[in-house]
């Protein structure tokens, strides 16, 4: 299957700082990327859908100004957690969709906000 990478795989930051997470499709062009959030022992919750060259579509209850998503190219989408707080600590997973509609998941990024 296709490969999706995320960077960093884990990050620890101080409260009030911003953190950027990258999601890359390594061997295919992803017209759409999705960002999920997963709390410990819970399910993946879709945060937003990101289409290349356009604004992201956020799910209900997700703060657009808090979680900035940029999909600047067909192989890269970034999620920036602005002014992070301890409650933003979570496991963030991206997925990328090919033109064939298949979806491949990244390995996830574990964010800890102190």
Partner 1 sequence: AQKITQTQPGMFVQEKEAVTLDCTYDTSDPSYGLFWYKQPSSGEMIFLIYQGSYDQQNATEGRYSLNFQKARKSANLVISASQLGDSAMYFCAMRRVNTGNQFYFGTGTSLTVIP
Question: Contact residues for partner 1 (CB under 8 A)?
Answer: 1, 32, 34, 36, 42-46, 49, 51, 57, 91, 93, 95, 97, 101, 103-105, 107-108, 110
Query: What are the phi and psi torsion angles at 70 (to 5°)?
Result: -130, 130
When the beta carbons of 84 and 93 are compared against partner 1, the nearer one is: 93
When the beta carbons of 13 and 45 are compared against partner 1, the nearer one is: 45
CB of 110 to partner 1, least distance (A): 7
CB of 54 to partner 1, least distance (A): 12
When the beta carbons of 15 and 112 are compared against partner 1, the nearer one is: 112
């Amino acid at each position: 299957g296709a490969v999706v990478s995320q960077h960093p795989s884990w990050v620890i930051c101080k409260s009030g700082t911003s953190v950027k997470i990258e999601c890359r499709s390594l061997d295919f062009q992803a017209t759409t990327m999705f960002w999920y959030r997963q709390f410990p022992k819970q399910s993946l919750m879709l945060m937003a859908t990101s289409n290349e060259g356009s604004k992201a579509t956020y799910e209900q209850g997700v703060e657009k100004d808090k979680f900035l998503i940029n999909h600047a190219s067909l192989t890269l989408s970034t999620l920036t957690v602005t002014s992070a707080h301890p409650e933003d600590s979570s496991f963030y997973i991206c997925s990328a969709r090919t033109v064939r509609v298949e979806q491949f998941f990244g390995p996830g990024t574990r964010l800890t906000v102190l």
